[in-house]
């Protein structure tokens, strides 16, 4: 069994998924039961509790309460994807110049790092993370950890220049078996950073980044998630080249995916 612990993420890597939810207690129970996550609660005083989820003693993700202002604005529970950068302030400037929107300017997160919240030209929201004492996830691609991050975009061609300017990503387009094009984002070293596909027809959701977590058996994990109160958006489905994936919403409504480990 692989037990490698990551100590540093290359720039352009999706390094931290964070759940903002209306019911953290129920969400913690759901994900702990589903993915076997350990719960490490941190008292943040007036800011409430920040929960770090761990797998095998390594950080994999986090959970926090959806802020009242966001809830009042109609923002639903969601997983927020963080991308590692060398300089959060410089990333904000590049995003602004490339046609993105600065949702929250760069700010310090205690001694842990510096972050900002951004939106691409299609409206998909994500964060950038300049690591200091906290690098993000200590494991990726293993069961119970983040396995893939995908942009479901209303206008895929519109956002390609944005992400290439922001993160220095290049991309590869491949035909999907069911039609359309799947885009794989590539870091500077040609390592896949994530993916993008057109928003499925008839979908009312805005453009968004979707976090997929690795399951040893996607069908079994999907069945367990449904038994725990999740809603199915995409049932277990074959991936081109092998493997399976599924897309669900947790009992509070946050969308996430399950996938087999990426090669």
Q: For residue range 208-237, what is the model confidence (pLDDT) as tens digits?
A: 999 999 999 999 999 999 999 999 999 999
- Tokens of residue 123, six digits: 């409206």
Q: What is the pLDDT confidence band of residue 205, given thresholds at 50, 70 and 90?
A: confident
Region 84-99: mean pLDDT is 98
Of 107, 111, 63, 66, nearest in space to 88 by CA = 107
- Tokens of residue 206, six digits: 């805005």
CA distance 105 to 243: 39
Interhelix angle 24-35/218-227, nearest 10 degrees: 150
Predicted pLDDT of residue 179: 80
DSSP 11: T
CA distance 154 to 256: 18
Lowest mean pLDDT among 43-52, 125-134, 137-146: 43-52
Lowest mean pLDDT among 12-21, 42-51, 157-166: 42-51
Judge whether residue 178 has pLDDT over 80. Answer: no
Region 246-256: mean pLDDT is 98
- Tokens of residue 48, six digits: 């409430």
Report whether 153 contacts 194 (CB < 8 A).
no
- Tokens of residue 161, six digits: 């220049």
Lowest mean pLDDT among 1-10, 12-21, 30-39, 151-160: 1-10
Predicted pLDDT of residue 1: 42
CA distance 14 to 147: 10
* Radius of gyration, CA atoms only, the chain: 17
Region 153-178: mean pLDDT is 94
Instruction: List the domain boundaries for the chain.
Output: 11-263
- Mean pLDDT, all residues of the chain: 94
Predicted pLDDT of residue 240: 83
Region 203-212: mean pLDDT is 91
Q: Calculate what percentage of the chain has a pLDDT beyond 70.
A: 98
Q: What is the pLDDT confidence band of residue 262, given thresholds at 50, 70 and 90?
A: low
Q: What is the pLDDT confidence band of residue 3, given thresholds at 50, 70 and 90?
A: low
Predicted pLDDT of residue 58: 96
**Residues forming beta bridges with residue 148, ordered by sequence position:** 212
Report whether 4 contacts 58 (CB < 8 A).
no
Residues in the chain: 263
Looking at domain 11-263, its CATH architecture is Roll (3.10)
Predicted pLDDT of residue 241: 79
Alpha helices in 8-51 (DSSP H): 24-35
Q: What is the pLDDT confidence band of residue 45, given thresholds at 50, 70 and 90?
A: confident
Judge whether residue 201 has pLDDT over 80. Answer: no
- Tokens of residue 77, six digits: 């529970």
Judge whether residue 263 has pLDDT over 80. Answer: no
Q: Calculate what percentage of the chain has a pLDDT beyond 90.
A: 84
The three-class DSSP label of residue 156 is helix
């Amino acid at each position: 069994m692989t037990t490698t612990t990551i100590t540093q993420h290359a720039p352009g890597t999706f390094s931290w998924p964070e759940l903002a939810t209306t019911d953290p207690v129920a969400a913690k129970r759901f994900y702990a039961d589903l993915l076997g996550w350990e719960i490490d609660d941190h008292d943040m005083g007036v800011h409430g509790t920040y929960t770090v989820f761990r797998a095998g003693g390594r950080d994999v993700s986090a959970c926090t309460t959806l802020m009242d202002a966001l809830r009042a604005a109609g923002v639903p529970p969601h997983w927020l994807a963080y991308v590692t950068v060398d300089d959060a302030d410089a990333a904000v400037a590049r995003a602004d110049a490339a046609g993105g929107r600065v949702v929250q300017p760069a700010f310090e997160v205690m001694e842990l790092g510096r972050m900002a919240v951004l939106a691409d030209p299609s409206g998909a929201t994500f964060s950038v993370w300049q690591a200091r004492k906290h690098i993000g996830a200590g494991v990726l691609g293993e069961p119970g950890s983040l396995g893939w991050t995908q942009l479901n975009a209303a206008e895929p061609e519109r956002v390609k220049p944005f992400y290439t300017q922001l993160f220095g990503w290049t991309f590869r387009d491949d035909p999907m078996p069911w039609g359309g094009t799947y885009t794989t984002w590539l870091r500077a070293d040609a390592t896949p950073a994530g993916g993008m596909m057109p928003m499925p027809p008839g979908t009312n959701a805005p453009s968004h980044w979707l976090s997929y977590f690795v399951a040893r058996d996607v069908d079994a994990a999907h069945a367990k998630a449904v038994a725990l109160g999740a809603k199915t958006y995409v049932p277990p489905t074959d991936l081109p080249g092998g493997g399976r994936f599924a897309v669900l919403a947790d009992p509070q409504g946050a969308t996430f995916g399950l996938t087999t480990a990426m090669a």
